[in-house]
Amino acid sequence: MARTTSRRRFLAGGAATATLAPLMLTGKARAQTRTLYVNTWGGSWTAAEEAAFFKPFSAETGARIRTVAPVSYAKLKAQVQSGSYEWDLTAITAGYWLRAEREGLVEPIDWSIINKDKLPPDSVFANGVHYCALGTNLCYRTDKFPNGGPKTWADFWDVKRFPGNRSLYNSWDRVLPAALIADGVPVDKLYPLDVDRGFKKLNEIKPHIKVWWTQGNQSQQLIRDGEVDLIQIWNARGSELKAQGVPVEVVWDGATITMTTWGVAKKAPNRSLAFEFIQFAVQAQPQAEFCKRLYYGPSNPKAFDFIPQDLAVQMPTYPANEKIAVRPDPVWEADNSAVLQERFTQWLAS
19, pLDDT greater than 70: no
Residue 240 reports pLDDT greater than 80: yes
What pLDDT, on the 0 to 100 scale, is given for residue 24? 42
CA angle 4, 348, 252 (to 5 degrees): 60
Over residues 72-114, the pLDDT tens digits come to: 999 999 999 999 999 999 999 999 999 999 999 999 999 999 9
Residue 10 makes CB contacts below 8 A (sequence gap 6+) with 16, 18, 19, 20
pLDDT value at 10 more than 70: no
* pLDDT at residue 225 greater than cutoff 60: yes
Res 322 pLDDT > 80: yes
Let me know: does 277 contact 270? Beta carbons within 8 Å. Answer: no
How close are the terminal C-alpha atoms of the chain, in Å?
Answer: 27
Q: Is the pLDDT score of 27 beyond 50?
A: no
Residue 121 CB neighbour total at 10 angstroms:
9
Structure confidence at residue 2 (pLDDT): 39
3-state secondary structure of 324: coil
- Residue-level pLDDT at 18: 41
- Of 152 and 24, the structure prediction assigns the larger pLDDT to 152
Residue closest to 162 by CA, chosen among 251, 234, 252, 256: 251
| Coil vs helix vs strand at 105 | coil
Pairing state of beta strands 17-19 and 64-68?
Answer: parallel
Share of the chain above pLDDT 70, in %: 91
Give tens-digit pLDDT for 326-345: 999 999 999 999 999 999 99
* CA distance linking residue 156 with residue 249, whole number of Å: 13
pLDDT surpassing 50 at residue 273: yes
- How far is 222 from 169, CA to CA, in rounded Å? 12
pLDDT at 16: 38
pLDDT of residue 323 exceeding 50: yes
Query: Would the pLDDT of 11 be above 60?
Result: no
d(CA 262, CA 287): 13
Query: Which DSSP letter does residue 139 get?
Result: E
Q: Treating both helix axes as pointing N-terminal to C-terminal, what angle do 195-205 and 330-349 enclose, rounded to 10 degrees?
A: 40
In the chain, % of residues over pLDDT 90:
88
Average pLDDT in the chain: 91
Q: What is the pLDDT of residue 334?
A: 92
Q: Is the pTM of this model over 0.75?
A: yes
At residue 30, the pLDDT reads 44
Question: What does the alpha-carbon distance between residue 24 and residue 47 come to, in Å, rounded to a whole number?
Answer: 24
Report CA-CA distances (Å) from 60 to 2, 15, 277, 280. Answer: 28, 10, 11, 10
Mean pLDDT calculated for residue range 138-152: 97
Rounded mean pLDDT, 150-167 = 98
* Residue 215 confidence (pLDDT): 86
Q: Which of 20-24, 161-165, 297-301 has the lowest mean pLDDT?
A: 20-24
- My answer on whether omega of the bond before 269 falls inside 30° of 0, hence cis, is no
User: Among 5-14, 47-56, 113-122, which stretch is predicted with the lowest mean pLDDT?
Assistant: 5-14
pLDDT at residue 14 is higher than 90 = no
Return the H-helix or E-strand segment holding 230: strand 230-234
**Under 8 Å between Cβ of 334 and 314:** no
With bands split at pLDDT 50, 70 and 90, how would you rate the model's confidence at 253?
very high
Rounded to an integer, the average pLDDT of 233-254 is 96
- Among 288, 293, 189, smallest CA distance to 240 is for 293
pLDDT at position 33, please? 64
Residue 152 has pLDDT above 60, yes or no: yes
To which H or E segment does residue 172 belong? helix 172-182
The DSSP string of 28-45 is HHHHHTTEEEEE---HHH
